[in-house]
Amino acid sequence: MTRIRLLILLIVLVLTSLLVAGCKDDPVTITPPTAAADALPDFSDLDVNPTSATSGSLVSPRDYLGQVSAWYFGHAT
């Protein structure tokens, strides 16, 4: 019975030391871009969706500044 308790104690000590060793004192700093326009890629493409309000015109991420948008780049072979 004492061997099992020693084994459990050893496992707890090892796991605790690994947890403590993985902690850092210095936080990660993330620097945000200076403006929303700087974070967007600069490109435009023709809107080929016939049901879209902008069908037939060039659209760009810059057209949607301040709005939520999603861009999908599909690839077919």
pLDDT at position 72: 79
pLDDT at position 73: 78
Q: Assess contact for 62 and 40: CB atoms under 8 A.
A: yes
pLDDT, tens digit (0-9, with 9 covering 90-100), for 17-66: 777 766 666 666 766 656 655 565 678 889 998 998 989 999 888 888 88
Q: Assess contact for 47 and 56: CB atoms under 8 A.
A: yes
Single-letter residue type at 72: Y
pTM score, whole prediction: 0.39
Single-letter residue type at 45: D
Q: Assess contact for 44 and 59: CB atoms under 8 A.
A: yes
Q: Assess contact for 65 and 37: CB atoms under 8 A.
A: yes
pLDDT at position 55: 92
pLDDT at position 17: 78
